[in-house]
Amino acid sequence: MNKKDHLGAVLIIIAGIFWGSMGIFVRHLTSLGFSSIQIACLRLTLAGIIFAIILLIRDPKGFKIHVRDIPWFLALGLVSILFFTCCYFTAINLMTMSAAAILLYTSPIWVMILAIIFLKEKVTLQKIIALILAFAGCVLVSGFGGKVSVPGILAGLGAGLGYGLYSIFGKFVLKKYSPLTMTCYTFLIAGAGSVFVADPPDLISKITAAGNLLNLFGFVLLTSIVTAVVPFLLYTFGLNRTTAGKAAVLATVEPAAATLFGFFVMKETIGPVAILGITFVFSAIIVLALTHPKGE
């Protein structure tokens, strides 16, 4: 591994650790009375504004996009990021942080299934093994060792699907636009879309009832920076310094980090069966990564 590759790996691992802390912020905002969708609205909107400021400073021309490409950006913002965020935050509040995170990381499995159906990719032995491992792992990690519900499992799997779609839609957008342009518009669109489903009157009443508005704004701003802006920037820069296959495997540090944050900060418990399930899902992701052609 050369220095450039090593730096990319470090950046992606740090991004995964930042993402793994998301449950801490979500749980706190939930305790203040905000719904999962309202938390998503606050996080996405603020992150979108921050990304827009960064793009304005670094590359003002990056705001220019073609009208015919708008559907791709809408798909990224609404079908992927908004859907994934709402599902993931719901799962965090219905399950342990580790269970929610590991279900989120079924995203490579969803990508594989969609690629087989829509892109006519070949079904290989490695892909079949990965599917079996992922399914078994999800059953183990979702059904044992913590707070579990069917809606939580479905929300976690939905988060994995939405997260997986980001890779598929993003593949088309990145052919024409920079990662920063894509990220900026994705979050702005997701934030705008979330307003329509976040019950704005109720959201405003909860904000005004929070008491110390400055503290609330500071915490929401911190949430956006720690769980969105910083990790997305780190991951983007890291991806430019290593291969996609390695990045996919390295990013799986997120559920491991979420498990540790849940254990040490939120005092969650995780049993040996759930640990076995996590191992199965990690194994499935690694099997998929090893099937990538050279240079990917």
Query: Tens place of pLDDT for every residue, the chain, 296 residues?
Result: 566 667 887 888 899 899 999 999 999 999 999 999 999 999 999 999 999 999 999 999 999 999 999 999 999 999 999 999 999 999 999 988 888 888 888 887 887 788 788 767 787 888 888 888 887 887 776 655 455 578 998 999 999 999 888 878 887 888 899 989 999 999 999 999 999 999 999 999 999 988 889 999 999 999 999 999 999 888 878 877 776 656 666 677 788 788 889 888 998 877 788 788 878 877 877 787 676 544 44
Residue 269 DSSP symbol: -
Task: Give the pLDDT of residue 131.
Answer: 80
The tokens for 44 are 């996405």
The tokens for 151 are 């809606």
Other Cβ atoms less than 10 A from the Cβ of 117: the count is 9
The tokens for 10 are 């470090």
Q: By C-alpha distance, which of 247, 233, 231 is closest to 182?
A: 233
Q: By C-alpha distance, which of 100, 132, 87 is closest to 254?
A: 100
Residue that the structure tokens 């489903």 belong to? 197
Q: By C-alpha distance, which of 69, 66, 35, 71 is closest to 194?
A: 35
Other Cβ atoms less than 10 A from the Cβ of 195: the count is 13
The tokens for 21 are 């802390």
Helix axes 83-94, 36-58, angle to 10 degrees: 140
Residue that the structure tokens 């599902």 belong to? 87
The tokens for 264 are 């040490």
Map 156-173 to HEC letters: HHHHHHHHHHHHHHHHHH
Measured CA to CA, the distance from residue 162 to residue 80 in angstroms comes to: 4
By three-state DSSP, how is residue 35 classified? Answer: coil
